[in-house]
Structure 1
């Protein structure tokens, strides 16, 4: 059996879409599982809409996801002449013919058919031209395209997800493969590329099913064995419509910029339409490689659930290595205008650990930790009125005095002071913990208070308690 060769073939006419990312992932998983090859091909035959910038963004997106390709990137635009080199041989088979119909003529005939409320497909006007008629058109330099002559019968293939799919050839029109300007049409270029690259499996969205029937006829004319096909269900929005820019974020790098971890995003999109069995949802890329199979990919579209992504991302952040988390979060601190350069790495690791379980996205971390790096400019209004009442300020005064006498200022020693005071005054822990948190962070929620106090250090804790006790901000 030949080594499996799979490819992801995006068009650089837009950003790397969530759907394309999932397609790339499934190609990658199967290729790695089967000891195959994962190829990146850029399908830039649409010269006017393709751009180098979008190509770079696509490659950047795949790199961020950790989907490293084994070969490529290859560009269709580098092979324009290569495609048309096949035309003389294909013409000899009688399987293609010149079409001299102009766009205007086609529109006129199409409108007549549509007016009768019938479905339009090319009427084969040029399929029956005589040699003399063809030569006359060529002598007058009339532009022409090349069309495939679809035979009678049926076309079918065994899809790895949907099973046998069949269509009567009467429903497939004689489609164009090369335009009148000598540029190849997508369906032709993609088959020639897949044959040249020895692609054995084509995995893509099920919106390509109609293209597959056409492409099978090109394989036939090229006398090439078609690859195995697997057509993935579409990714849907929360209203069960196709996910689009109108209904939500669709660019992969936009999720990166929101603060989604790449491991979390890969894990999340893998499960949109694929269930490995059991109730395990958090999986590494290596685990997915071992578990993946097309038999467990659903035929129906899966919903892109933003709340589930948020949940999954928070789980990954909680379990992320603190050193890696700090490094990947630095751009978000910079974006928020928070300078962390004066704080030791050891302290920064502790700060990361203190808020891991609170953050849903990386962009949350600067806001959750801002009070560690800057003086408090604003206090939560509801928190002030609820927790910084006169009687609680009196408690803070006593606690401040007792904290001043603590020699080894850490989580346990501070907790002991608070616990002893609460027992002495018959107070609930919340009666002194919440006011202290407000005084130290300006917030009603945050990291464990005693861990927070250890990280801030004795001097800063006493300073902020003093500010609240002596100020008139209340």
Structure 2
């Protein structure tokens, strides 16, 4: 059977890295198996769902390259299908009306807890052979409850947690339709997974308690349930469950802060899955290696420093022509106009940056006036070094403007003045780029504008 996976977020808050990992793994599994990845928006909670949250889901997945093969499908647009499925279950005698009020349910739960029993619906309105049901109260619209199997166990071999067995007597009869006829979450999920022919459900372990109920509904409708893999929680740096309430940022915020999609995908992949000791890998390698057998069983903890390190490795490996448009986008927001030098400048500076914003900060020095403090000037541009700087400025006025020729000028100045390289390089760097720490001086000068360099050195 062809693999079909799905990501089914609820747009009730901005999707963060912990959420998007539950999209990455089913996407990767479908891609690695030549299968189909489906996006389903579970927007039945109309009070809390928002179009803005949907937009962040779609935008975040697009940025990370987790494009669905089918969808997005919206549950609110499938209500007629769910109501049809409810009627089908009624016709088959799989559900029954329950007239117990919310107040009666609350009172029942209080009695059960007082008796140290598990709070659960007691089957008052479940029809059984020879059972006398209470009189139907006037003016009360019932909920519909699913006839959960009595006795035995519901079991599945979870691809992360192993064998899980739950006694059916631990499960009460689930409400599948509210008094107004609106279907409930657990029922809609099963209908969707059947209609979309889902073969593997890869989702967070906060859904484990829903799984036995959903399996019983699958089987009542005559379908075998999909394979389940319940992923451990992603914790924030404080060891709490990652959530918006606990300070988690929307996925798109990482893009806006200058992270590469490839770096984030690499980091997220390792946040609950491993391939030996491999830390840095391409998207192609990830898809080649990924399977469900190496998913971690323990909660993974987010580490900002580790994410930045992984992103820095992908920055180093990225083509200069890929980084330049990203830096140019940051420049646009700063009112800076780049030129044809930008890709080469990115190539010179990318090794020392962990985000494209950091790279833009460095590249900016080639396009904006440099501010050198009086303290820095006094420290590095001394009377002993000033003649050498002036000599270099004079030589650079007419030399061929390439790295090799500039290197020879620097060497000639060092020979003539007896200075060591750091004694000359630090003040030149400071005057040209406003910092004493840069890549190779000859490379920096070759990528700078000749007139600007000469004018700044003459200012010594």
User: Which TM-score band applies after superposition, normalised by the shorter structure?
Assistant: over 0.9
Helix, strand or coil at the partner of 1:125: coil
CA shift digits 1:92-129 (9 cap, x unpaired): 54432222222222223323433455432222232259
CA contact (8 A) 2:388 2:417 kept: no
Of residues 157-166 and 107-116 in structure 1, the stretch that sits farther from structure 2 once superposed is: 107-116
Equivalent runs, 1:103-252 vs 2, <5 Å? 103-116=102-115, 118-127=117-126, 136-137=136-137, 140-150=138-148, 151-252=150-251
Helix, strand or coil at the partner of 1:244: coil
CA shift digits 1:291-334 (9 cap, x unpaired): 11111111111121211111111111122122221112222112
2:284 to 283, 286, 293: 286
**1:472 aligned residue:** none
Of residues 109-118 and 283-292 in structure 1, the stretch that sits farther from structure 2 once superposed is: 109-118
1:360 to 354, 357, 360: 354
Alignment partners' CA distance in 2, 1:8 and 1:458: 54
Alignment partners' CA distance in 2, 1:375 and 1:317: 26
Helix, strand or coil at the partner of 2:268: helix
Helix, strand or coil at the partner of 2:224: coil
Instruction: Confirm or deny that 1:339 pairs with 2:336.
Output: yes
CA contact (8 A) 1:243 1:250 kept: no
Helix, strand or coil at the partner of 1:298: coil
5+ residue gaps, structure 1:
470-474
CA shift digits 1:424-473 (9 cap, x unpaired): 43322111101111111112323332212111132111111122x2xxxx
CA shift digits 1:243-295 (9 cap, x unpaired): 22355434211111111111111111011111112x33222222211111111
Per-residue deviation, 1:364: 1.2
Instruction: Confirm or deny that 1:310 pairs with 2:308.
Output: yes
CA contact (8 A) 2:330 2:360 kept: yes
Alignment partners' CA distance in 2, 1:382 and 1:49: 56
CA contact (8 A) 1:368 1:446 kept: no
Q: Residues 407 and 74 (structure 1 numbering): CA distance in 2 closer, same or farther, change over 3 Å?
A: same
**1:296 aligned residue:** 294
Q: Which runs of 4+ in 1 moved over 4 A?
A: 115-118, 128-135
CA contact (8 A) 1:161 1:299 kept: yes
Alignment partners' CA distance in 2, 1:370 and 1:380: 18
Helix, strand or coil at the partner of 2:356: coil
Q: Residues 49 and 247 (structure 1 numbering): CA distance in 2 closer, same or farther, change over 3 Å?
A: closer
CA contact (8 A) 1:7 1:27 kept: yes
CA contact (8 A) 1:155 1:166 kept: yes
CA contact (8 A) 2:157 2:228 kept: yes
CA contact (8 A) 1:402 1:417 kept: yes
Helix, strand or coil at the partner of 1:299: coil
Alignment partners' CA distance in 2, 1:356 and 1:302: 29
Alignment partners' CA distance in 2, 1:249 and 1:389: 49
Q: Residues 310 and 33 (structure 1 numbering): CA distance in 2 closer, same or farther, change over 3 Å?
A: same
Alignment partners' CA distance in 1, 2:274 and 2:375: 45
**2:405 aligned residue:** 413
Q: Residues 136 and 443 (structure 1 numbering): CA distance in 2 closer, same or farther, change over 3 Å?
A: same
Equivalent runs, 1:17-96 vs 2, <5 Å? 17-96=16-95
CA contact (8 A) 1:383 1:444 kept: no
Q: Residues 381 and 113 (structure 1 numbering): CA distance in 2 closer, same or farther, change over 3 Å?
A: farther
Q: Residues 257 and 226 (structure 1 numbering): CA distance in 2 closer, same or farther, change over 3 Å?
A: same
CA contact (8 A) 1:97 1:149 kept: yes
**2:258 aligned residue:** 259
CA shift digits 1:412-433 (9 cap, x unpaired): 2222222233244332211110
Of residues 176-185 and 413-422 in structure 1, the stretch that sits farther from structure 2 once superposed is: 413-422
**2:343 aligned residue:** 349
CA contact (8 A) 1:45 1:184 kept: no
State how many pairs are aligned.
458
Alignment partners' CA distance in 1, 2:298 and 2:374: 49
Helix, strand or coil at the partner of 1:191: helix
**2:392 aligned residue:** 399
User: What is the root-mean-square deviation of aligned Cα atoms in Å?
Assistant: 2.2
Alignment partners' CA distance in 1, 2:375 and 2:315: 29
Alignment partners' CA distance in 1, 2:246 and 2:327: 28
CA contact (8 A) 1:383 1:443 kept: no
Alignment partners' CA distance in 2, 1:157 and 1:329: 50
Alignment partners' CA distance in 2, 1:316 and 1:9: 29
**2:382 aligned residue:** 389
Per-residue deviation, 1:180: 1.6
